[in-house]
Structure 1
């Protein structure tokens, strides 16, 4: 493979990666903020949680103890981090 073909392949790969990253970005108005209730799925289970911190660039920290069956689920942690692309907002906090 010639140097020019290698350069072209690298440039194409970089543009493709950038396009993929831009497609995955979530609009600011669609991001959860502190106090919002979100739902998300992990390992085939549905979870509900309240957002406790939204200061991270690509995700939120949330508290899952609001679920009525939290204790029965025997989860290792009360809080978890969820990427903006992996949750939906169930209820916005009252402003």
Structure 2
């Protein structure tokens, strides 16, 4: 019985630690803000977009029409949602 409690506590502690680490994957200063240009992969394509909304907890909404070849790419939508862990910031907005 005591061994089961120790095992359960160890498993619980491991899950808490993992969840804490996942929540902190992207630091606030590394997250995109409105007006930033980001790059990301979607459907095997390298895309570029301008961030239009940061109101989501783990993602940003961005507009891909800034790409010169947007119409040639046959994308279904002008905007998309990208998780913080799935983009890199190409250029910060001019302040």
TM-score of the aligned structures, taking structure 1 as reference length: 0.83
- The C-alpha deviation readout for 1:35-93, integer Å capped at 9, x for no partner, is 11000012221000000001211110000001111101111100000011110111111
Instruction: Supply the RMSD in Å over aligned alpha carbons.
Output: 2.0
The answer to whether residue 19 in structure 2 is matched with residue 15 in structure 1 is no
> Partners in 1 of 2:20 and 2:32 — Cα distance?
24
State the number of aligned residues.
Answer: 94
> Partners in 2 of 1:22 and 1:75 — Cα distance?
31
Name the counterpart of 2:74. Answer: 74
TM-score of the aligned structures, taking structure 2 as reference length: 0.83
Instruction: Give the SS at the match of 1:49.
Output: strand
Name the counterpart of 1:50. Answer: 50
Structure 2 portions without partners, runs of 5+: none
